[in-house]
Amino acid sequence: MKQRLQISIRGAVQGVGFRPFIYKLANELQLKGFISNNISGVNIEVEGDENALNKFLLKLRTDKPKLAFINSLEYSKLDLKGSSEFRIIESDSRGDPSAFILPDIALCDECLFEMFDPNDRRYLYSFINCTNCGPRFSIIESLPYDRLNTSMKYFEMCDDCRKEYEDPSDRRFHAQPIACPDCGPQVKIIDNSGKLICEKYSAIKTTSEKIKEGKVIALKGLGGFQLIVNANDDSAVNRLRERKHRDEKPLALMFPDLNSIKKVCEVSELEEGLLLSPETPIVLLKRKKDAKIIISQFVAPKNPYLGIMLPYTPLHHLLMKEFGKPIIATSGNISEEPMCIENSRALERLSGIADYFLVHNRPIVRPVDDSVARIVEGKEMIHRRARGYAPLPFSIRNSCEENFISVGAHLKNSIALKKGNEIFVSQHIGDLSNIDAENSFTNTISDFQKMYQVRPEFLVHDLHPDYLSTKYCKEQRTNTIGVQHHLAHVAACYEENQLEGKCFAVCWDGTGYGFDGTVWGGEFFIYDESSYQHSAQFRQFKLPGGETAIKESKRSLIGILYEIFGKNIPYKKFKINHLQSSNDMLLFAEMIEKNINCFTTSSAGRIFDAVSSLLNICNKSSYEGQAAMLLEFAAEKSVNTHYNFTLVQTEKIIVDWQPMFEEIFIDLGNNIPVSEISTKFHNTLVEIIVKLAKLFNERKIILTGGCFQNVFLLERAIDKLEEIGFTPYWHRRIPTNDGGISFGQAVFTNHSINKTRKQNLAKIETVKE
């Protein structure tokens, strides 16, 4: 018996070879009809034998392209039309956009093989791609995903490319970025005055030679410019740091292949899979002590980890083939500025950094930085969510009717658009610390509104009144909602892990504006979808100089010491000799005494800083989190003891850290190694979590906030909690740092709206009774 079905599919089904897959499947099963893209996904009408249609519906899910993701599939029966063939027809741009825009995808093996095949017409071509790989998010301007809606519209296909594009049996059938040397984009190298050196593959060979000479190269990649130097050339690395104003923050590396990475770092099976994945993020890997390849000591000073990625574009592969050694591949910007995406802008902003520019003429629509990830407890954990991941959405449960935008935090900013039951989280934007960053932030908000054709009913922001993102919301002619920083962290982890019922949440980070106007950061909550209780908090202390203390960890230490001893701090008694003669310490104590420019804080991040300074590991940070990171790296796994602390019952429990510091003073006096003290400090934090978990007795434990980027702390906490019967949950796809705040703001707002709606319905029911 013959039937005709209309099938609507939503999800990541554009730009992944889904229409060619459906075309081949329909012909294989002798079905007739058509498929087209629309701004919600794809629409299919198909008719034929009932058994064949049932197989078609089954194979849609089981045999779909590996990069495709079906979020929803709905079908209904239609009258037979007697179609004589199955066709791919023109896209329909009407309606409400809800199709998933696919992230940019690393070069596939088939294209890589062709690029290095002398007999292939795309031999050594820098922009080879197919339906399984290549640019997506960085080139799309609007939905549906068709060539005319991308920056490839400026390149008219040649006859050969057109033939492949229109051939359903070809791997490049409807590959929107399809190109070849005859009709597609091209590369060239120019000096920092804009003078042309050479073009095409000669430009790549010349770039390799310049890197060998120690020159700094600005390379226009997939989602923006990168700054490139030889990774084992100390003088080149230092020159890059000096010009970029990046003192000690680790620099990302790109290696030619997996084998070369294994000569430098320990690589587990899971880490290997992450390096080779279509997302190809920067992966944090542990260095080997007996590395077979020399990497400059200035790439990641005092850091046992290296951030490494493999080539992910044809251009990177060609350059790495020519150069053959690891390179630095860091974001193309001056520190704290957004990444450059336009040739003219890069030449203007980066000419003081780069000696030469390897550029191309394919426009980048929006900046998309490299993602950063690592493996924790056998699972991928994303620290920076950008290329390869954004802007794929997260489906949320019990979605409210309202659509809105949440604007994230001040540091590691991202924004999120809630539409229907999806939250679309933007790529990493960065710190909102200058006018360029502000422009990038506002452009991203406009970009998302345009792509998804959403006019938000309100904007959601952090409670901090001075955040640029908060000020932006207040300046708009719309309603706004404020969400407390740490509750956003907790809500993000709660929803990411699809939790239900009450949980005990541990949220530790550096800075977050509290309900009482103080700086929070060592917080504990009982949380579920309809309620929360601020159940515990670290003992507060004063920070002299306020936000300056984020960079000068000795300020956190003086705040702790003053809280314990008052103005007369016994430096000599506790062998804090490195600070005793500092005039700064006297000034800081005076500031606290007179409460001049001081902030009250419960921040766990600042406690890390204080201990790092106390042990003379780091007194001043050149990048965010440096003091805490170096303290983590000083710890060793063999130590299992911890320090004491006390829990003080008030309206909420106060975790008093004073006994811990007093015991650290004793260890310093007894010349206990710094590594042992650091480990005992980390163990104490784990014991605090365990003791409070037992006290509140909720079996599900959330671990969230920037402090849980510390893998030593996170893994010890997970292991200890599991050992005594608790189930810990942490972030994997959403960053645990402030990059996840926008998602958490959206989730918390959704929870709050649902809660209010339920309360209002309950009142109505009561009145009826």
Q: What is the mean pLDDT of residues 632-638?
A: 93
Q: Which amino acid is at 209?
A: E
The answer to whether the CB of 14 falls within 8 A of the CB of 40 is no
Residue 767 C-beta-side C-alpha neighbours within 13 Å = 6
pLDDT in tens, 704-758: 999 999 999 999 999 999 999 999 999 999 999 999 999 999 999 999 998 887 7
Q: What is the mean pLDDT of residues 394-398?
A: 91
Predicted pLDDT at 767: 45
Predicted pLDDT at 90: 81
Q: State both tokens at 567.
A: 């103005």
pLDDT in tens, 327-366: 999 999 887 788 999 999 999 999 999 999 999 999 999 9
Q: What is the mean pLDDT of residues 386-390?
A: 96
Predicted pLDDT at 335: 75
- Out of 86-90, 582-586, 596-600, which region has the weakest mean confidence (pLDDT)? 582-586
Q: State both tokens at 718.
A: 């997970």
Q: Which residues, other chains included, contact 168 with Cβ-Cβ below 8 Å and sequence gap of 6+? A: 20, 23, 24, 88
Q: What is the mean pLDDT of residues 208-215?
A: 98
* Confidence label for 768 from pLDDT (cuts 50, 70 and 90): very low
ω into 391 cis (within 30 of 0): yes
pLDDT in tens, 220-234: 999 999 999 999 999
Predicted pLDDT at 753: 94
Quick check: 551 pLDDT over 80?
yes
Note the pTM of the prediction, 2 decimals: 0.92
Q: What is the mean pLDDT of residues 552-567?
A: 92
**Which residue's structure tokens are 């019990």?**
398
- Rounded to whole angstroms, the Cα distance separating 590 from 562 reads 10
Predicted pLDDT at 769: 47
**Which residue's structure tokens are 């480990």?**
679
Predicted pLDDT at 545: 86
Predicted pLDDT at 577: 66
Quick check: 696 pLDDT over 50?
yes
Given phi > 0 = left and psi -120 to 50 = alpha, else beta, which region is 117?
beta
pLDDT in tens, 280-336: 999 999 999 988 889 999 999 999 999 999 999 999 999 999 999 999 999 998 877
Closest to 58 in 3D by CA, of 166, 50, 379: 50
Quick check: 558 pLDDT over 70?
yes
**CA 234 to each of CA 209, 214, 586: distance values in angstroms, whole numbers, following the listed order:** 17, 9, 39
- Rounded to whole angstroms, the Cα distance separating 405 from 632 reads 36
Q: State both tokens at 750.
A: 């959704």
User: Looking at residue 153, what DSSP letter applies?
Assistant: G
